[in-house]
């Protein structure tokens, strides 16, 4: 027992030393990051003054929503900087997104058209990598030309809305729904109340109207390049190869290929705003602490068995 006790104390001392080293290292990283932040600006984005002739890149990555990096504010700001830059020969929207808000996508679509009119000598290309669907394709349709990989997922020109109904579950659990409203439709499509067919039909009309707006903008952007196909606007998604046959994309190629072969300037400069050094540091710090705690818990579990 004495031997076990001594061994346990030794192991505990080793863990304490490791934790001490870890927190000293975090302190050093923190001080280094503070020094860096005082020497570097905290705003996102890329300063590109003085950069030689190049192809500008704006990333559209992840869900398109007002509170994400792929928000209209971020994308539009980057697009303006990219078009305004004296040495940018063209602009590529590098898209890897399943879509999102039609409102945010609409803002970006309109801004692309405005910038194309303001800078007629600079073409806008959309390049889809893994996926460019729904709202992401909405944005792409505003570009002069669209390119994708042969295995990219393209399309999903449709609108979706869903939820759950809990009325039967509530009946089985003996739960009463008590809802008080002013306005006959204020409890519209309440998931805890029985579904009303009239409300469902109205909501379908809203979705249909939004879908028609989507279709109109795609047709405006793609024009007679679209193939006459009954399923084109059905919400289906296609590979890049199939999308080319349907006229949804103009060809197969990457951003580097477009810059090299079409623009003639293979030097890519990314104008997408990035998190400030403070945000990046806090994210890194959080990951480091979580990783260390996880390792410590695993080690403690094995030592205490």
pLDDT in tens, 145-166: 999 999 999 999 999 888 888 8
Per-residue confidence band for 185, with pLDDT thresholds at 50, 70 and 90: confident
Among 148-162, 209-223, 277-291, which stretch is predicted with the lowest mean pLDDT? 277-291
How many angstroms from the chain centroid is the CA of residue 199? 32
Q: Stretch 225-238: mean pLDDT, rounded?
A: 95
Looking at residue 181, what is its pLDDT? Answer: 87
DSSP-derived letter for residue 248 is: S
Per-residue confidence band for 45, with pLDDT thresholds at 50, 70 and 90: very low
Helix (H, G, I), strand (E, B) or coil at 101: coil
pLDDT tens sequence across 188-203: 888 888 888 998 999 9
Mean pLDDT of the chain: 84
Helix (H, G, I), strand (E, B) or coil at 34: helix
Flag whether pLDDT at 100 surpasses 80: yes
Q: Going along 255-301, which residue ranges are E strands?
A: 268-270
- Kindly report the pTM of this predicted structure: 0.74
Token pair for 56 = 């500008």
Among 23-27, 145-149, 198-202, 208-212, which stretch is predicted with the lowest mean pLDDT? 23-27
Q: What angle do CA 156, 160, 163 make, to 5 degrees?
A: 145
Q: Stretch 60-70: mean pLDDT, rounded?
A: 94
Rounded distance between C-alpha atoms, residue 244 and residue 154, angstroms? 10
Contact 164, 243 (CB under 8 A): no
Looking at residue 295, what is its pLDDT? Answer: 53
Looking at residue 81, what is its pLDDT? Answer: 96
Rounded distance between C-alpha atoms, residue 57 and residue 3, angstroms? 65
């Amino acid at each position: 027992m004495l031997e076990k006790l001594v061994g346990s104390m030794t192991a505990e001392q080793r863990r304490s030393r490791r934790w001490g080293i870890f927190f000293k290292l975090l302190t050093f990283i923190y001080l280094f990051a503070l020094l860096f932040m005082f020497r570097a600006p905290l705003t996102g984005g890329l300063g590109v003054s003085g950069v030689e002739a190049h192809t500008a890149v704006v990333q559209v990555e992840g869900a398109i929503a007002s509170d994400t990096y792929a928000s209209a504010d971020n994308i539009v700001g980057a697009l303006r900087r990219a078009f305004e830059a004296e040495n940018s020969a063209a602009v590529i929207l590098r898209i890897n997104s399943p879509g999102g808000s039609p409102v945010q996508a609409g803002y970006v679509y309109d801004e692309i058209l405005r910038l194309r009119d303001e800078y007629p000598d600079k073409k806008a290309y959309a390049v889809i990598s893994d996926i460019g669907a729904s709202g992401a394709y909405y944005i792409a349709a505003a570009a002069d030309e669209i390119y994708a990989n042969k295995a990219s997922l393209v399309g999903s020109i449709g609108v979706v809305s869903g939820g759950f109904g809990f009325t039967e579950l509530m009946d089985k659990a003996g739960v009463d729904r008590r809802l008080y409203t002013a306005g006959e439709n204020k409890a519209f499509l309440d998931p805890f109340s029985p579904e009303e067919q009239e409300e469902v039909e109205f909501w379908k009309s809203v979705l249909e109207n939004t879908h028609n707006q989507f279709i109109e903008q795609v047709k405006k952007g793609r024009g007679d390049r679209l193939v006459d196909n009954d399923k084109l606007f059905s919400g289906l998604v296609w590979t890049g190869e199939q999308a080319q046959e349907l006229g949804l994309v103009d060809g197969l190629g990457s951003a580097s290929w477009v810059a090299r072969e079409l623009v003639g300037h293979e030097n890519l400069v990314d104008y997408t705003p990035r998190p400030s050094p403070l945000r990046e540091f806090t994210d890194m710090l959080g990951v480091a602490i979580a990783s260390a705690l996880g390792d410590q818990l695993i080690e403690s579990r094995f030592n205490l068995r």
